[in-house]
Structure 1
Amino acid sequence: MRPFQPRPMFMAVSIALALSGCGSNVEDQPLVIPSAPADQGAAEVVPVPAVTAFVDTAATNQRGDARYATLATNAGVRVLGGFLQIWKPLTEIVDAGVTAPAVDGFPAVQASKWSGVPNDGTPDGMVLNAAVHAANIGYVVTATASRTEAQAVQAYLDDRRGKGYSVTEGLGPLTAAWRTAAQQTTTINNVPADASTVLYNDGGNNTGVGGSANAAFGNVVDLVNLVGNNASTEPAKRFYKYARPYRWSSSVQVLPALLPAKSSTPATDGGYTSGHSAEAVRDAVAMAYALPERYQEILSRGLELGESRIFAGMHSPLDVLSGRILGQASAAANLVDPANAAKKAAAVTQAHATLMAATGTNADSFAAFAQSGTVANDRFADYSVNKANYVRRSTYGFAPIAATNMAAVVPKGAEVLLETRQPYLSDAQRRVVLKTTALASGYPVMDDAEGWGRLNLFAAADGYAGFTGNVVIAMDASKGGFNAADRWRNDISGTGKLVKQGTGVLKLAGSNSWSGGVELTAGGLQAESATAFGTGDVYVSGGTLTVAAAQALKLAGKYTQLTGATTTELVLGANGQGSLSVAGTATVGGGSLRIRFASGYKPKAGDSLAVLTAGSLKGRYASISVDGFSNVSPVYGATALTLNLGN
């Protein structure tokens, strides 16, 4: 991304503050500058939950310990403990007469052994919530009966192909360059004609070649691989002993091409949790960390792979949801580990240097190239579709089983998941972003004590969804990337105040309603929606405030621009878009007004531009410039500013 620079002015006209004879009815008296919006106090701080943290105990989640893993002894089993509200596995009490204690609020369930399959008369547990269980298996029955040919092909590829290779499809225009740099290979590129009778295994290398054997991209491959440390799903499978959906119901139609992949040993083949889903999510998190320019698209591909497991008939929605939870927690535990700090930094640097060279881009053009795909060549190019699918794949339509309005908690270390996507925020601020964008409470499995189940990383990438206290955003454009420019698309509520500092540009595109106001002291702040700046006062003491909305920017409070290095920039369209509408008093203490025009719109000499309306207009700009016009006459009225365009 290019660091913010004022756009060149084609032609300008300066207007002295004492100018008269321009139709002005502004009173000739000293201008009273209002105060900045009131401080709203300290910014919100999200504490670490007072429970055992996955990131502190991840090393307990080892495949070799699967047989006797418990809530008390295994982090992977514990983080998925919400399932114990739906299903309780049979237990083998190791010490007769000893009752195991509850762990972090989860029921006491001790180490257990597999004794049979659900439909042979000797189930390995007890269904505690029949409605959720029925919905879980019923979802697979419906999905496998109605899957399309495209879904069937994707399900086969996602089953048999290396997960790391599959997830790179989320890179869109960068997929080929990534695979080449990583030296990634696969032998599964289609569905063989005899797949229903022959089991094909991928002979490729999944994530590629890492370490010193790949000087150009080895650090990146290493990052993707290291998030798999302490990430086994085997302990959870052995502990919960919840069967795959086709063992619960004969109406589940396993994909014919995957029949050879069905296990013949149910006792070692649990459905909860999905290993494919967990691996896809943690690989996606690692790739998004290295390449945040495709953050939401890569994460969307990770969840899509999980859904493929349902279309395949191999897993249920709860299996897949739990895979997302464990995948996120495993990735975070490895990314937050101080021992991996150098590896993370090296991977991010190498990913950008190598992919820029491969695509002929640079620091100014790389982000745009990463987002240059279309729906014809990048199935993750549609933001709205990705967003809807991400939310759907986060809950799979389950009805809540508990209160839906419980405050979100944020797991210890989870803030690392936004470290490269929002580098201008502090860890404390990233925790607030994760809290304010969390999924609703009450859904099956997702209300774990730490908060992993309710994380919505797609929404978190779009910034805050609520302000409390003074939210101070300082962006350093010289660092490039998202430090130079970023867009927040969430709808922001709350009573806080936004203070924008630094040289970078922050763009706001949501339907925002926060009430504490805006104070711009430096850099850029850009409105891309009619209510981008909430319902409070807007105060510009430095920097450039830009209105590039598809409608007029509506300010419910006051608008104040001070003299000095301040600019209001309006990108006008034919139907009033980009203009400024202030319900309260607009006070112009000087500074500049810059008028640009939206693509496809160009007024002509003799036209009048209504650029600013207000409940009351006071003061004047020190200079006004209109792209393409050298002769501009401002008309200051009591409630409006109009510009008459000359030749």
Structure 2
Amino acid sequence: MKLLRCAGAVAVATTMTLSGTLAHADPAPPVAEPYTLQELVGPYPSDLPARGTFIPVLDGFTGIRDTRPDLMQRNLDRTVEINNGASAVAQQRALFDSNHERLVSLSDGFGEGLGEAFRTALHEGRLPKVQALLGGELSRAVGIANLSLLEKQHWSNPRPFEVAPDRIHYYFGDGVSGAADPYAEVGGTSSYPSGHTSSSYLIGILLADMLPELAPQILTRASEVGNSRIVLGVHYPLDVMGGRIMGHAAAADRLSDPAFARLVDEAAAELRAALEWSVGEPLDEYISSDTPYRPIGTALAEYNERMTYGFDRIDPSMTNDIPAEAAVLLRGVAPDLTDDERLDILRRTAIPAGYPLDQAGPNGGWLRIDLAAAYEAV
């Protein structure tokens, strides 16, 4: 049995094992019980965005599009720079991310050994709650309301490979049989915000809630999935930055919904038990000796750079605050802190106000949240 790897990203093979011999404390894996049909169906208050749609928190794009042609040009030029300058490894990872579900891509953030343990457990059906909650485009946590369909329709922004076809390099394949054409798949659809990015951050934040020990790593991998869309030339940096805003707001909605948060907690218990059985020791001990996705300093720097993609602040005088509802994003790493204490951490680790897409008023502040740094600061 063999694990297939693609330029640093891990592909799911039809059969796979963990490298090396693992000494299980128990001869049989923990019994995994799927959610009941009623638990999956709900409905849950967070099935619809708290604001009706995510357009209000994403509307910093409208002013840029309507009044800042220079910034829109820079948005395209930065896309071309990233797309044309992508290394062979970055190209292959971008194609991998395009061809596989977010849960598999994000598992890189668990580290080399633990990520492999996770994918094995997922393949063997030992994580039914995690799969139902986070696996696939229509997973229970994502759902239709969080797919960015209404938001894309609102702005109808053309994609970079259609705006500047002669400036974009086109990448295909990645060795996966039947891999989709990443350009035909999205041709004629709107770019803003990036749905791949928003779902990656939503799923990544929920995984970080379940595995707070690895949160900066998982979140940085989520940022790489978003960056992969720019590498392919199917999204702009502003699309990816908007996708991060949307993913944060969607995750806050989910974790603030007590009934839905219970599903997250049950999936977390399933996940942690399955991983500890797989590696044969407490997670913190195993993680300390595993090969990480990134050294922590590198992870934090990559995450931070992708928050703004080198854009200058366009309104240095802007003032806003971190949204109060964002406090719940730190519940996994700081369950005993109050919301005010969690907000203080988010404020202390946030970037300044006034970067592109940031807004004044009650819908602003989401762009400023450096969640990887906040987790590391707790």
TM-score computed with the length of structure 2 as normaliser? 0.78
Which of 342, 350, 356 in structure 2 is aligned with 1:444?
A: 356
What per-residue deviation string (whole Å, max 9, x for no partner) do you get for residues 282-330 of structure 1? Answer: 1111111111111110000000111111111111000111111111111
Which of 71, 75, 80 in structure 1 is aligned with 2:58?
A: 80
Which of 413, 416, 429 in structure 1 is aligned with 2:328?
A: 416
Which amino acid is 1:322 matched to? G
Match of 1:59 in 2: 48
Which amino acid is 1:351 matched to? L
Match of 1:454 in 2: 368
Q: CA deviation at 1:347?
A: 2.1
| Equivalent position SS for 2:289 | coil
Which of 388, 393, 397 in structure 1 is aligned with 2:306?
A: 393
What per-residue deviation string (whole Å, max 9, x for no partner) do you get for residues 381-433 of structure 1? Answer: x1111111111000000011102673x52224322211111223222211221
Which amino acid is 1:219 matched to? K
Match of 2:242 in 1: 322
Is the contact made by 1:285 and 1:417 (CA closer than 8 Å) also made in structure 2? yes
Q: CA deviation at 1:253?
A: 1.8
Is the contact made by 1:217 and 1:354 (CA closer than 8 Å) also made in structure 2? yes
Which of 213, 221, 225 in structure 1 is aligned with 2:131?
A: 221
Is the contact made by 2:46 and 2:260 (CA closer than 8 Å) also made in structure 1? no
Match of 1:181 in 2: 121
Q: CA deviation at 1:174?
A: 1.1
Q: CA deviation at 1:226?
A: 3.2
Higher relative contact order (CA 8 A, sep 6+): 2
Which amino acid is 1:292 matched to? P
Q: CA deviation at 1:237?
A: 0.9
| Equivalent position SS for 1:289 | helix
For residues 301-450 of structure 1, the aligned pairs below 5 Å read 301-362=221-282, 366-374=283-291, 378-380=292-294, 382-403=295-316, 406=319, 408-447=320-359, 449-450=363-364
Which amino acid is 1:334 matched to? R
Match of 1:232 in 2: 147
Is the contact made by 1:294 and 1:371 (CA closer than 8 Å) also made in structure 2? no
From the two aligned structures, give the one with the greater helix fraction: 2
Q: CA deviation at 1:371?
A: 3.5
Is the contact made by 1:140 and 1:252 (CA closer than 8 Å) also made in structure 2? no
Instruction: Name stretches of at least 5 consecutive residues in structure 1 with no aligned partner.
Output: 1-54, 62-72, 88-126, 185-213, 464-487, 489-647
State, as a whole percentage, how many aligned pairs show the same letter.
Answer: 28
With over 3 angstroms needed to count, the CA separation of the structure-2 counterparts of 1:232 and 1:452, relative to structure 1, is: same
Which amino acid is 1:236 matched to? E
The 4+ residue runs of structure 1 with deviation greater than 4 A are 55-58, 264-267
Distance 1:227 1:152 in 2: 29
What per-residue deviation string (whole Å, max 9, x for no partner) do you get for residues 177-218 of structure 1? Answer: 11122227xxxxxxxxxxxxxxxxxxxxxxxxxxxxx5x432
Is the contact made by 1:412 and 1:450 (CA closer than 8 Å) also made in structure 2? no
| Equivalent position SS for 1:147 | coil
Is the contact made by 1:242 and 1:272 (CA closer than 8 Å) also made in structure 2? yes
Which of 83, 108, 112 in structure 2 is aligned with 1:144?
A: 83
Instruction: Name stretches of at least 5 consecutive residues in structure 2 with no aligned partner.
Output: 1-43, 174-179
Match of 2:23 in 1: none
Match of 1:261 in 2: 182
| Equivalent position SS for 1:257 | coil
For residues 279-290 of structure 1, the aligned pairs below 5 Å read 279-290=199-210
| Equivalent position SS for 2:265 | helix
Q: CA deviation at 1:74?
A: 4.1
Is the contact made by 2:219 and 2:372 (CA closer than 8 Å) also made in structure 1? yes
From the two aligned structures, give the one with the greater strand fraction: 1
Which amino acid is 1:76 matched to? F
Match of 2:36 in 1: none
Q: CA deviation at 1:60?
A: 5.3
The answer to which of 283-292 and 338-347 deviates more is 338-347
Match of 1:131 in 2: 70
Is the contact made by 2:349 and 2:373 (CA closer than 8 Å) also made in structure 1? yes
Match of 2:35 in 1: none
With over 3 angstroms needed to count, the CA separation of the structure-2 counterparts of 1:417 and 1:263, relative to structure 1, is: same
Q: CA deviation at 1:446?
A: 2.7
Distance 1:443 1:317 in 2: 13
Distance 2:140 2:187 in 1: 30
Is the contact made by 1:285 and 1:331 (CA closer than 8 Å) also made in structure 2? yes
Pairwise CA RMSD of aligned residues?
2.4
Match of 2:215 in 1: 295
With over 3 angstroms needed to count, the CA separation of the structure-2 counterparts of 1:266 and 1:304, relative to structure 1, is: closer
Distance 1:57 1:243 in 2: 30
| Equivalent position SS for 2:260 | helix
What per-residue deviation string (whole Å, max 9, x for no partner) do you get for residues 564-621 of structure 1? Answer: xxxxxxxxxxxxxxxxxxxxxxxxxxxxxxxxxxxxxxxxxxxxxxxxxxxxxxxxxx
| Equivalent position SS for 1:461 | helix
Distance 1:138 1:368 in 2: 45
- Number of residue pairs the alignment of both structures matches: 321
Match of 1:244 in 2: 159
Distance 2:150 2:263 in 1: 28
Q: Which protein has the larger Cα radius of gyration, Structure 1 or Structure 2?
A: 1
Q: CA deviation at 1:331?
A: 1.6
TM-score computed with the length of structure 1 as normaliser? 0.47
Q: CA deviation at 1:153?
A: 0.6
Is the contact made by 1:237 and 1:272 (CA closer than 8 Å) also made in structure 2? yes
| Equivalent position SS for 2:172 | helix
Distance 1:262 1:135 in 2: 22
Distance 1:183 1:234 in 2: 30
Distance 1:357 1:261 in 2: 38
| Equivalent position SS for 2:146 | coil
